[in-house]
Structure 1
Amino acid sequence: MTITAEQRRARILDVVRELGTVRVVDLADRVGTAAVTVRRDVAAMAEAGLLYRSHGTVSLPRDSSAPDRPDRDRIIGMLVPTVGSYFDEIIAGARTAATAAGARLVLGISAYESSDDRAQAEQLLEAGVDGLLLSPNWRPATGAVDTAWIRELPVPAVLVERPAPADSTAAELDSVSSDHRHGVLLALRHLLSLGHESVALAARLDSWTAGQVRAGYQEGVRLLGLKPQPVLDITRPGLDPDGLAARIAEAVGQGVRAFLVHNDQEAIQLTPPLRARGLRAPDDLALISYDDVFAALASPPLTAVSPPKHAVGTGAVELILRRIDGDSELPIHHVQLLPKLKVRGSCGGTNG
């Protein structure tokens, strides 16, 4: 039989009175209701002064004359679209910061399918997390950004490498990200300093970062007065290096001799098919990759735009802990960290 919200909240109070201090996940088991629902009830009851919340536990309101009770370690849920590449360094930064603060990091992976985001976040909530670091699978090609569910979360949330669109409700959430447009500008400025007045971009279509790189390219070309070139779309990431090499060779034949490639995997796989066409970096073309995960391991080592991935993870944890700890004076933060350009051997010139 379905119970009303009033009945459910009365049951919550009964359990808390019986047990004293109880974890939200255990409370949900005792009440027989999903943890997400119980968290929302607890949040409302705490706001009304009926309960006290602290780091995933619930108790009756504190007696001001009683000594403070110790709290358990804070638990931070982190939702990422993949592991094994770009996000590894972000996770490492978050893990280091969490450990230093005596907190615990719990990881969820949503596998680059936007429909998985909410379900994965709810699983993290059911694990008893006190706050969430979220990298939703927003798709740049469609422009569709689902933010409603994020605003309904019962715990603090920080967006990681996903600055929310200004017209979305998620823009009112904290975010920590790399300024990818600035990263592209660094690459274009370096190539211009080497005498390249035309630079072509080869970029993927399947990630939020790809969308930011594309937007940064259009902006950077305009700001630096470069000759605009059609973007070389990478529609089959990692699966068609020969096709991309053919289009790059065609652009070289038309006078373009500098290329920015998103990302490292695509750039590294270009070497054999380019050599088969008589083209080598840096002798015949200048090549910069974007991401700097594996770029230094290429032959020749690739000059690369290096987003501050570790620092993004660290900054996100530091911010979510302040939210979890109830820093009511803290304004909303939209933090953008600047990438660096790691100059190696693939551009030629005195600096490349």
Structure 2
Amino acid sequence: MATDASPAEDQAAAADAAGRLPDERRNRLVDLLRRRGIMRVHDLATELAVSAITIRRDITLLAEEGVIRRVRGGATLTEPPEPASAREPAEPPGQAAASLTVGMVVPSLDYYYPDVIRGVREAAAAAGVRVVLRGATYQVADERRQLASLIDSVGVDGLLVAPTTESDEGEELVRWLQTAGVPVVLIERAAAVGPYREAMESVVSDHALGAAMAVRHLATFGHRRVGLITTITSPTTPHVRAGWRLACEELGLETDGTPQARTVDRRDPGWARALDDVLDACLASGTRALLVHSDPEAISLVERCQDRGIRVPGDLAVVTYDDEVAELCDPPLTAIRPPKTDIGRAAFALLLERLHDPGRPAHRVVVGPQLIVRHSSS
């Protein structure tokens, strides 16, 4: 079956083919396990002078045949190893049971994801696992390059990744991840692959629930129209809009004529015009409450309100989504706070469970956000 391969994988495969035949390599792999008892993927790859992904594929094949069995981070024989006297000299204590290495690729290192990273690192430190972090740029080519490097050059045992999934390129990246040869857990993304749309392992915030919580909060102050601003580039936007719509329908709020803007973000030259258009629509429709994704856009909105003499929250109540810098605003913004640190902890735990038990069913974990009430909505 044909699969997509990175240039690094193609080079590794060519090197393997130029060397020993697969059967010969696998025989040597089994022989190493017979003499040493247990070995990690990285050590086997070094001994056999092939890529880590090649070793993982060999382990998968040999495990299916019942010759060996997978263990955390490596493999061992299904039968007892040879007596110690017949083995090669023992490795230094702890080397064979060295900690796992997990690769992590996120689209930003300075917004939203630092707390996710912190959660992963805290959980990994407690488990004695090394984490190798890479930052991407919401570009599929950059994400795939970073991921291929972690697999081929670092030899990671598993991946935690927040990939681009929406475009055709993103869908291709997800398919490539499914065949990467290491366990993968998606962070703040969900995907299904294959002809039967099988779920990939994932941990996500319930952004739709968070948006609905914001609408319900604003409705408690008597607001019958709750407007919405989301940016067109954010992968969170569809979930926020879905939750907003659900809550408006549930509460019977007015949506006809209520601003429901999909805008550029605040860094775009068109942001100032889009912002004034939204505020004009609020005044024209009598909308006195807004849910805004995300914090920088919400803070910019409040500043523009001040320029135009619109009082927050007196004339316009505002709730933001993300709670990265919401409390720095004047007034401090009521916010929906996704469970970012808990997302990181849960994603690491899911990956560790997959490494312990490769045959377990795929899990999808959904974690609820919090409403943080400050001064901009009351």
**Partner residue, 1:84:** 110
Structure 1 range deviating more: 104-113 or 92-101:
104-113
| 2:250 is equivalent to residue 250 of structure 1 | no
| 2:146 is equivalent to residue 120 of structure 1 | yes
CA distance in 1, matches of 2:170, 2:151: 25
Using the TM superposition, give the Cα deviation of residue 65 of structure 1 relative to its aligned residue in structure 2, in angstroms: 8.4
Gaps of 5+ in 2: 1-13, 85-93
Conservation of the 8 A alpha-carbon contact between 1:150 and 1:170: no
> What pairs up with 1:48-59 in 2 under 5 angstroms?
48-58=65-75
Q: 2:53 aligns with which of 36, 46, 50?
A: 36
| 2:267 is equivalent to residue 238 of structure 1 | yes
One-letter code of the match for 1:341? L
Structure 1 range deviating more: 274-283 or 253-262:
274-283
CA distance in 2, matches of 1:342, 1:211: 22
CA distance in 2, matches of 1:170, 1:161: 19
**Partner residue, 1:131:** 158
Structure 1 range deviating more: 29-38 or 260-269:
29-38
DSSP-derived class of the 1:145 partner:
helix
TM-score in terms of structure 2 length: 0.81
Conservation of the 8 A alpha-carbon contact between 2:59 and 2:68: yes
| 2:221 is equivalent to residue 194 of structure 1 | yes
One-letter code of the match for 2:267? G
**Partner residue, 2:307:** 276
Q: 1:291 aligns with which of 304, 319, 322?
A: 322
Gap change, CA 1:43 and 1:15, over 3 Å in 2: closer
One-letter code of the match for 2:300? Q
Gaps of 5+ in 1: none
- How high is the sequence identity, in percent, across the aligned residues? 36
> What pairs up with 1:78-227 in 2 under 5 angstroms?
78-126=104-152, 127-139=154-166, 145-146=171-172, 147-164=174-191, 171-227=198-254
Gap change, CA 1:106 and 1:157, over 3 Å in 2: same
Q: 1:334 aligns with which of 356, 364, 373?
A: 364
**Partner residue, 1:7:** 21
CA distance in 2, matches of 1:103, 1:198: 49
Conservation of the 8 A alpha-carbon contact between 1:202 and 1:231: yes
DSSP-derived class of the 1:208 partner:
coil
Structure 1 range deviating more: 74-83 or 22-31:
22-31
CA distance in 1, matches of 2:333, 2:149: 40
One-letter code of the match for 1:319? L
Using the TM superposition, give the Cα deviation of residue 23 of structure 1 relative to its aligned residue in structure 2, in angstroms: 4.5
CA RMSD of superposed structures (Å): 3.0
DSSP-derived class of the 1:115 partner:
helix
Structure 1 range deviating more: 114-123 or 270-279:
114-123
One-letter code of the match for 2:186? L
CA distance in 1, matches of 2:215, 2:192: 25
Gap change, CA 1:34 and 1:237, over 3 Å in 2: farther
Using the TM superposition, give the Cα deviation of residue 299 of structure 1 relative to its aligned residue in structure 2, in angstroms: 1.1
CA distance in 2, matches of 1:137, 1:54: 31
Conservation of the 8 A alpha-carbon contact between 2:230 and 2:261: yes
Gap change, CA 1:197 and 1:145, over 3 Å in 2: farther
One-letter code of the match for 2:171? V
Conservation of the 8 A alpha-carbon contact between 2:334 and 2:374: yes
DSSP-derived class of the 1:138 partner:
coil
DSSP-derived class of the 1:322 partner:
helix
DSSP-derived class of the 1:288 partner:
strand
Using the TM superposition, give the Cα deviation of residue 308 of structure 1 relative to its aligned residue in structure 2, in angstroms: 0.7
TM-score in terms of structure 1 length: 0.87
CA distance in 2, matches of 1:167, 1:261: 36
Gap change, CA 1:148 and 1:71, over 3 Å in 2: same
CA distance in 2, matches of 1:66, 1:221: 70
